[in-house]
Amino acid sequence: MLLRSVMRHFRNQEWTAIGLDLMIVVLGVFIGLQVQQWADGQRQARMENFYTQRLHGEIVDLQATRAELVETRQGWLAALSMATSVLFDPKGRELTELECTSIAFSYIVSNPTDDLASLFEVQSFGQFGLFSNPQISSALGAFLLTRARARDADSAVQRIVINLTSKYPDLIQLLSTSDYSKDPWIRPRYRCDTEGMRMSQGFLNDYEINQSGYTFHVMNNARVDNSFLELKQVLEAVLGTATPTSSP
């Protein structure tokens, strides 16, 4: 209808009417674009809020999942520290079973899970810019950088640590096996030849590699945990659901 009206006015050289018709067309296009922009903005806001809430929930779940393993690794590191003082003291006491077991496990530096499904989705679809809030974007960027550095460091540690139990079976002896089907956290028991370890320079050299590598591994876990906590606090502030938080 509008096109016919414009053509009729043009044939009749009704310039004022033509101008009004064109103004109606431009105004209609402008309003349509504004409505579309508003709809896109609303859709973007809903999507951002959806992923913000998902991220927060996943971080809470992941912190709980990581906590037991991370705390266990911290315990083994504390036992390794005690073992170090014993091994390098010529007149020191014998290693305890806990200290011996920590030596046996000092090569286990697998990375505790640190993946977030929603963040993986956002990155996979190239929608990282979905988060318009600069605080969230900054916290996500900091987390990704910390996680990447920790993963690189753990990869390096995994390449250098040594299974001391396999390499020095005469110095580290298995006392009992474990039924992991009943308790996945149960551990076998070991006995160490403390004096033999002190007398073996090769063992001491390899032990130092493992002890330092395990220390870096635990430090990397702590860095990732702190980054998780900082990201969660930012998300809670944005969502308005702040709750008391602490490091896992």
Instruction: Express each pLDDT in 209-225 by its tens digit.
Output: 999 999 999 999 999 99
Please, which residues bridge with residue 50 across strands? none
Q: What is the pLDDT of residues 10-62, one digit of tens each?
A: 555 555 655 655 666 666 665 655 555 654 455 666 778 888 898 999 999 99
Of 104-108, 125-129, 230-234, least confident by mean pLDDT is 125-129
pLDDT tens-digit series, residues 117-133: 888 888 777 776 778 88
Q: What is the pLDDT of residues 146-200, one digit of tens each?
A: 999 999 999 999 999 999 999 999 999 988 766 655 555 557 889 999 999 999 9
Nearest to 219 by CA among 207, 231, 211, 230: 211
> What SS3 class is residue 125?
coil
| pLDDT bucket at 204, cuts 50 / 70 / 90 | very high
pLDDT classification of 77: cutoffs 50, 70, 90: very high
User: Apex CA 114: angle with CA 111 and CA 116, to 5°?
Assistant: 155
Task: Read off the pLDDT of each residue in 102-122 and give the average, rounded to a whole number.
Answer: 88
Nearest one of 96, 83, 111 to 203, comparing CA atoms: 83
pLDDT at 132: 82
Is the predicted pLDDT of residue 99 greater than 60, yes or no? yes
In 10 A of CB 189, how many CB atoms?
A: 15
Residue 91 pLDDT class (50, 70, 90 cuts) = confident
Whether residue 246 is predicted with pLDDT greater than 50 in this model: the reply is no
Given a cut of 60, whether residue 247 has pLDDT beyond it is no
Q: What does the pLDDT read at residue 75?
A: 92
Decide if pLDDT at 4 tops 70.
Answer: no
pLDDT band of residue 248 (cuts 50, 70, 90) is very low
Ordered DSSP codes for 127-167: -GGG---HHHHHHHHHHHHHHHHHHHHHHHHHHH---HHHH
Banded model confidence at residue 87, pLDDT cuts 50, 70, 90: very high
pLDDT band of residue 243 (cuts 50, 70, 90) is very low
Residues sharing a CB contact under 8 Å with residue 222, sequence separation 6 or more, in sequence order: 70, 247
Give the integer Cα–Cα distance in Å for 145 and 128. Answer: 14
Q: What is the value of pTM for the model shown?
A: 0.75
CB atoms inside a 10 Å sphere around CB 33: 10
Determine contact, residues 221/112, Cβ cutoff 8 Å.
Answer: yes
Pick from 59-63, 78-82, 239-243: least confident = 239-243
